[in-house]
Structure 1
């Protein structure tokens, strides 16, 4: 199985820390945020990881090299000076993520600006549908959540209880097959390369019952502000 780490964001809410350093390369607990993900992916047997880049893109190969340190092979998917959003970024990296022998083999995708104790090995081998998402309790900065997790393990746009998408998911390439029809002319979908969000595709797949989910009740942090970064760093260094 291959994996994608979203690392192309501008990190605007993290300035001035991200003026010179991309957010996934900011350190917590003595190592870059993205390194925590690389360790988890290597431990579960992933051998090829695609990292999408834009802002300060040249710093990623300088810091991470070819991935040999983790027993991985890293590929860098450069999106240009402006990030392509989650959907556009995944679409742009798809040629690197596809398995030539099994074209619709699933891959893992993880946001590069989160930290979690979620055990990636607990993810299913394949999604029962187009995608499988990890959800967490709603944090204070996102009290309304994103999706509803049903008793049958299916996700829906509406319903209760609503939980927050953790930025960890298992996807089939076919989720992107009808992206033009789903996204339409919104945003930069008509640009080359196209720029669009992944959420509309997930909502469309949910309406067809094609997205499952799980509730992670452990530790998770969306490192969206310097304050949350400092709090996380303090906890990790204290071994909490």
Structure 2
């Protein structure tokens, strides 16, 4: 397989996990919204994508999804598209497969806001 000739402009942000290892912090907020050094884990990742010139980030949601959707609503860049997994937690690969129609046919980056 030939390497891509252009840098991807899309990314998948894995943000649907349950955050079990961070309980009780994550009893009332999803792990991607936990703040480290004054900024959420999700924003650390999205800010890095913005700095790298990523135009669109597909963010999957499952656990306390309304909080993540509300949090990213005010972002200017990258453009956020939500992949809704409320009905079933799909694990990493399943979340990516579900989001493929939103990601398109070009190469994309993957970052994990749940690690």
Query: Is the pair's TM-score, using the shorter chain for normalization, greater than 0.5?
Result: yes
Largest Rg, 1 or 2: 1
1:176 paired residue number:
none
Identify the residue that residue 63 of structure 1 maps to in structure 2: 71
Assess if the C-alpha contact under 8 Å between 2:16 and 2:114 holds in 1.
no
Query: Which consecutive unaligned segments of at least 5 residues does structure 2 have?
Result: 1-8
- SS of 2:83 mapped into structure 1: strand
**Cα deviation, residue 113, structure 1:** 2.8
**Displacement of 1:80 after TM fit?**
1.8
Cα offset, 1:81, TM superposition: 4.2
Q: TM-score scaled by structure 1?
A: 0.43
What is the count of residue pairs matched by the alignment? 107
CA–CA separation in structure 1 for the residues paired with 2:17 and 2:69? 16
Please tell me whether the aligned partners of residues 66 and 75 of structure 1 are also in contact (alpha carbons under 8 angstroms).
Answer: no
Higher RCO, Cα 8 Å, sep 6+: 2
Higher helix proportion (structure 1 or 2): 2
Aligned counterpart for 1:20 among listed residues 28, 33, 51: 28
Unaligned runs of 5+ in 1: 115-240
Residue of structure 2 in register with 1:107 after alignment? 108
What is the distance in 1 between the residues matched to 2:15 and 2:23?
A: 16
Q: 1:12 to 1:89 in 2, by over 3 A?
A: same
CA distance, structure 2, for counterparts of residue 38 and residue 81 of structure 1: 25
Whole-Å separation in 2 of the counterparts to 1:91 and 1:80: 15
Question: Which TM-score applies when normalising by structure 2?
Answer: 0.87
Give runs of aligned pairs for residues 36-185 of structure 1, distance below 5 A: 36-65=44-73, 67-68=75-76, 71-98=77-104, 103=105, 105-114=106-115
Q: Is the 8 A contact 1:8 1:83 kept in 2?
A: yes
Query: What residue number does 2:12 align with?
Result: 4
